[in-house]
Chains A and B, each alone.
Chain A
Amino acid sequence: MIAVGETAPDFTLRNQDGEQVSLADFRGRKVMLVFYPFDFSPVCSDQLSLYQEVKSEIEAKGATLVGVSVDSPYAHKAFQEKLGVDTTLLADFEPKGEVARAYGSYLDGPGMANRTLVLVDEDGKVAWTYESPNPGEFPGANVIFDALA
């Protein structure tokens, strides 16, 4: 995983609507990057659904929740609609997993991001990270609030 205190690698990826989104767009605000394996997989669905329930509280803490996986913008859009969530989902699609690699989250064997959280502070520095023991487990939302406290 990327180390706390490092400058968070900038990136520009397409979101679920095909719009380009850069990390730099969030400068001056905290960003909680949620790297997850795949759209539509069971655990990822549970994770994003749960976080949706406390999204407004996360935003009230001055942070924006952003999901990142290797799926395409079209898959992200369909996933968003299926879950009924409005969290921004970014497509780390081509080159596949390049951003996840830059953050030390990519798993080469399965070809996906591990389930990791990275809090980027207002100045673009890595303020906190969390890596799940395995992709089948996801951290509760309390862990996010602990990081933002």
Chain B
Amino acid sequence: MNELTSAPVPPLGPEDHVRGEGELLVVYADLACPHCAAAWAEISARPNRIAFRHFPVASKHPRAPALHAAAEAAGRQGAFFAMVDSLYADRAHVDDPHLWRRVEALGLDLERFEADRRSAEVAARVRRDFESGIRAGVTNTPTVF
């Protein structure tokens, strides 16, 4: 079992999802959270280097784990932020067929996406971010460090 006692926000690592240039912002966000969706456009527009970290709160947003897995799976094909942007831009279409349509629109391999998003590896990757947020004291989303 991983330790969940207090710890600083982990520094950027090779598996972090990062885009942009400038001062670093580390964003813990929930892909099914309306507040995050509202904030994402503004955060994305900032002249900053942005690291997105997964913080799905499933009891609050039951669809969150599936969406985070979808983003992570898209990331395996180089389209992490494209999927995040897509999910936040249209929160009304997040069932599986809608995800498949997004995958097709992004030109990704659907079969690979399906295998990846259901994999234990992707679930563990999402959980690692979540636990780092817990240890850093994240209580709400989005939280920006």
Contacts and interface: CB of A to CB of B under 8 A. Distances in A.
B73 to A, nearest CB: 21
Interface in A100-149: 138-143, 145-146, 149
Contact of B138 (A49, A57, A85, A140): A140
Interface in A31-68: 45-50, 52-54, 57, 60
Interface string B53-80: 0000111101000000000000000000
Interface residues of B, number: 20
A53 B59 contact: yes
A149 B5 contact: yes
B130 A142 contact: no
A140 B139 contact: yes
Contacts of B57: 49-50, 53
A85 B130 CA distance: 18
B111 to A, nearest CB: 31
Contact of B60 (A45, A139, A149): A45
Nearest to B136: A142
Of A53, A139, A142, A145, the most chain B CB neighbours within 10 A belong to: A142
Given A50-B57, A141-B134, A84 B6 contact: no
Contacts of B135: 142
A49 B60 contact: yes
A41 B138 CA distance: 19
B139 A145 contact: no
A145 B59 contact: no
Contacts of A78: none
Nearest to A48: B59
Contacts of B62: 84
B134 A52 contact: no
B60 A46 contact: yes
A145 B3 CA distance: 8
B4 interface: yes
Contact of B4 (A83, A84, A145): A145
B5 A57 contact: no
Given A54-B134, A141-B134, A83 B6 contact: no
A60 B4 CA distance: 12
A140 B5 contact: no
Contact of B59 (A49, A57, A138, A149): A49
Interface of A: 45-50, 52-54, 57, 60, 83-85, 138-143, 145-146, 149
13 contacts: A46-B139, A48-B59, A53-B57, A53-B58, A53-B130, A53-B134, A57-B1, A84-B59, A140-B139, A142-B4, A142-B5, A142-B7, A142-B134
